[in-house]
Amino acid sequence: MTSENLKIISLDVKDVRFPTSLGAHGSDAMHKDPDYSCAYVVLKTAKGTEGHGLTFTCGRGTEIVVAAIKSLSELVVGQTAIDIFKDFGVFWRSLTSETQLRWLGPEKGVMHLATAAIINALWDLWGKLLNKPLWRLLADLDPEHIVSCIDFRYISDVITKEEAIEILKQGQKGKEERIEKLMKEGYPAYTTQVGWMGYSQEVIIELCQKYLDMGFTAFKVKVGQNLKDDIKRLKTVRNVIGWDNKLMVDANQVWDVKQAIEWMKQLAEFKLLWIEEPTSPDDILGHAKIAKELKPLGIGVATGEMCCNRVMFKQFLQADAMQYCQIDSARIGGVNEILSVYLMAHKLGVKVCPHAGGVGLCEMVQHLQMWDYVALSGTMEDRVIEYVDQQHEHFVNPVVVENACYKVPKRAGYSTTFTPETIPKYEYPNGTEWQLMFSQGLFPDPCKHQS
Ligand SMILES: [Mg+2]
């Protein structure tokens, strides 16, 4: 491969939305009607290889992320992929610290979602160029190369490059045996499918039984809108899944700190492993207080799916404010920054249990967690990947979950390529499915709305 062949000649971005609000799929205490969506990036090299990456959104506002990606594209187009991958941390900083655009963040909000989509597309491209699935590409990189992908600015008080290299060198021991085990058994998953806020009792019972029959032993339920209702739903779930299986709850940021503590005391009888996002995702000390109060009840605090960046993660980890670190593959600045969170969590002894669901999050995050098992933490103990059975049919290489375990992805890249039908059907607002739904009156047509 010549470097001329590997020049990135174009960056295209699409606003892709799925009408999930019609079935209350994905509904929780804060997001009552999400239409699972994404900003989808396609990078193309001169030789024709493409990298596909995305960031997840809940519908309205995706066009803003698309605009941010367009603003960043001139920093990517014209670059040579091989040069980017040689010193990926330097390139990552060139996106996040662009001298004018950084004012819109820095390293948070829409700009960082846009960064994640582009960075994820680059990792997909790297995997495809080397013909390796991402987890394997990461596992095969030597510790120095992994560390060169990370921007250590703002985190070197907790972990230095040298320490990270040493940790990753330790992670090499027994790697081949772990790859073998992973290939055979896959990686354990838990399901959130049973507990969306908008589901009826009948649907909950039916889904609990379905996922039990599929071999699941860990379940998560949305809470936080109405205490009586939460108690009723948790009773229903425990009745079906029994008391030996794990049960977690998720409030999606709906409570104040004191309210979270009081509410959770009322739910403690249901033997809950964690409360996820009890309050504002930015409130580190609030989470620490909740964690301290709930510890005697055996309930841990889980958060991270909306944590802005490695600096926030650093503080959550330092403050004992999260017992379960929920990295999100479509957030913070993509794979590079997520690697730094894995390393800090490892050093500070916090388990990573990734957030997934949405659009493509399961597809992506399986690679990261598998790399963690193979080359970093070396264990799957008390760790699980979230699994939501939605939107997989739109991907060329969807996740495969069998016996409640993610099977190892074998195809090259980051599993983020849409099928050829997906974009013509679901691009918003001109895709054929959207046009049909507008004509049926299921959604307002934004073009007519404006006129
Ligand atoms: Mg959640």
CATH of the domain at 333: 3.20.20.120
**In this predicted structure, what is the pLDDT of residue 449?**
59
Inside any domain, residue 311? yes
Q: Please tell me the distance between residue 24's alpha carbon and the centre of ligand 1 in angstroms.
A: 15
CATH of the domain at 128: 3.30.390.10
348 and 427 in a common domain: no
Inside any domain, residue 164? no
Concerning whether 128 is annotated as a catalytic residue, the answer is no
350 and 237 in a common domain: yes
Inside any domain, residue 290? yes
125 and 185 in a common domain: no
Residue 106: cis peptide before it, omega within 30 degrees of 0: yes
State the burial class of residue 364 (Cβ atoms within 10 Å of its Cβ: 0-12, 13-18, 19+). buried
Report the number of distinct structural domains present in the chain.
Answer: 2
195 and 60 in a common domain: no
Concerning whether 222 is annotated as a catalytic residue, the answer is yes
Cα 23 from Cα 73, distance rounded (Å):
35
**In this predicted structure, what is the pLDDT of residue 32?**
79
Q: Where on the phi/psi map is residue 415: left (φ > 0), alpha (ψ -120 to 50), or beta?
A: left
Domain, as residue range, for 88? 8-133+420-439
Inside any domain, residue 122? yes
297 and 219 in a common domain: yes
**In this predicted structure, what is the pLDDT of residue 448?**
83
Catalytic annotation, pick one of 25, 52, 220, 355: 355
395 and 320 in a common domain: yes
State the burial class of residue 440 (Cβ atoms within 10 Å of its Cβ: 0-12, 13-18, 19+). exposed
Q: Please tell me the distance between residue 128's alpha carbon and the centre of ligand 1 in angstroms.
A: 31
Q: Please tell me the distance between residue 355's alpha carbon and the centre of ligand 1 in angstroms.
A: 7
328 and 248 in a common domain: yes
Could you read off the pLDDT tens digit of each residue along the chain, which spans 451 residues? 567 789 999 999 999 999 999 887 777 778 878 999 999 999 999 999 999 999 999 999 999 999 999 999 999 999 999 999 999 999 999 999 999 999 999 999 999 999 999 999 999 999 999 999 999 999 999 999 999 999 999 999 999 999 999 999 999 999 999 999 999 999 999 999 888 887 889 999 999 999 999 999 999 999 999 999 999 999 999 999 999 999 999 999 999 999 999 999 999 999 999 999 999 999 999 999 999 999 999 999 999 999 999 999 999 999 999 999 999 999 999 999 999 999 999 999 999 999 999 999 999 999 999 999 999 999 999 999 999 988 999 999 999 999 999 999 999 999 999 999 999 999 999 999 999 999 999 999 998 855 4
Tokens 């009792």 belong to residue:
201
Q: Please tell me the distance between residue 278's alpha carbon and the centre of ligand 1 in angstroms.
A: 10
Q: Please tell me the distance between residue 420's alpha carbon and the centre of ligand 1 in angstroms.
A: 30
**In this predicted structure, what is the pLDDT of residue 198?**
78
**In this predicted structure, what is the pLDDT of residue 450?**
56
395 and 429 in a common domain: no
3-class DSSP state of 313: helix
228 and 356 in a common domain: yes
Nearest to 268 by CA among 239, 237, 234: 234
* Global model pTM greater than 0.85: yes
Catalytic annotation, pick one of 25, 108, 112, 222: 222
**In this predicted structure, what is the pLDDT of residue 3?**
77
288 and 359 in a common domain: yes
384 and 250 in a common domain: yes
DSSP 43-101: EEETTS-EEEEEEEE-STTHHHHHHHHHHHGGGTTT-BHHHHHHTHHHHHHHHHT-TTG
